[in-house]
Homo-oligomer: A and B are copies of this chain.
Amino acid sequence: MDWPESPFALPDHASGSETMADAAREIVAAGRRMDRLGFLPATAGNLSRRLSSDRFAITRSGGHKGFLTEADVIEVGLDGQAVRAGDRPSAETLLHCQIYEHEPEAQAILHGHSLAATVLSRFVRDTIVLEGYEVQKVFAGQTTHTAAIRVPVFDNDQDIPRLARNVAPLLNDMPAGYVIRGHGVYVWGPNMKSAMARMEGLEFLLACTLHERSLAR
C-alpha cells in the first residue's frame, strides 16, 4: 500500500470528475491524518466524499478508520442505501445524507471523536462560542478573528433519524460544523482538503477552549 499520510499530500485534481477510486484515495488519506491527530480512537468516526448530486462514497461500518483500504469505502445514495447489494452503511450515514442534501456545495464530510470535543461537549449546554482566534478564519465566510462563531452541541442519540431532526433547524447557521455530546464533531467543505483544514481548525479551537476553561475556573 502506498497511501499518502494526509489529503494535503494529494495532488489537486479536476473537481466534478470524482471517481470511486479518487474518492476512496481521499478518504483513506483523511483517515490516516485524523488518526495521527488522535481523532479516531477504536472504531470511531466516519468519512465521506460526494460523487455526484445524488451519490457519495463513505466508510463502511466498523473497523478502524485510520487504517482504511479502498475496500472499506462503499457507495451510497442520498437516501442512505448502499448502491451495491451486500454493502452495509453505518447508521450515521444518514447524517451525511442530510448535509449533502442541505448543502449543495459540500463535497466532503468528516466525523471524528476527539478528547476535546468529547469532554467539552459534556460541560456545556447547547452551544460553544469561538471568538478572538485567528484560526477561526478557516471556516466558511469568516474573515476576522473578532467574529463570534456559534458551534451547536446536540444531545447524542442512538436513534439517528431523531438526531437528524434535531440538527435540521440549525443547519443554516453552523459555519464551523456541529458537535454531538460525548460523541464528536461533524465538519464539511467544498473539497476534501478544505474539510480536513476545517476539522483541524475546529479541533484546535475546541482544545484551546477546553484548556481555557480549566484556567478560568
Contacts and interface: CB of A to CB of B under 8 A. Distances in A.
Copies in the complex: 4
A41 B115 contact: no
Q: Which 8 A-B pairs have the closest CB atoms?
A: A8-B67, A42-B201, A134-B183, A41-B204, A8-B64, A42-B138, A42-B200, A42-B197
A191 interface: no
Interface residues of A, number: 51
A122 interface: yes
Q: Residue among A135, A143, A184 with the most chain B CB within 10 A?
A: A135
A44 interface: yes
Q: Residue among A67, A180, A198 with the most chain B CB within 10 A?
A: A67
A8 B135 CA distance: 28
Interface stretch (A51-59, A94-102, A208-216): A208-216
A123 B215 contact: yes
Interface in A162-205: 180-184, 193, 196-198, 200-201, 203-204
A211 B115 contact: yes
A19 interface: no
A144 B158 contact: yes
Contacts of A125: none
Contacts of A215: 119, 123, 213-214, 217
Given A41-B200, A145-B182, 15 more contacts: A41-B203, A42-B135, A42-B138, A44-B134, A64-B196, A113-B134, A115-B204, A115-B211, A118-B204, A119-B215, A133-B183, A134-B183, A134-B184, A144-B158, A145-B156
Contacts of A123: 212, 215
Contacts of A89: none
A42 B198 contact: yes
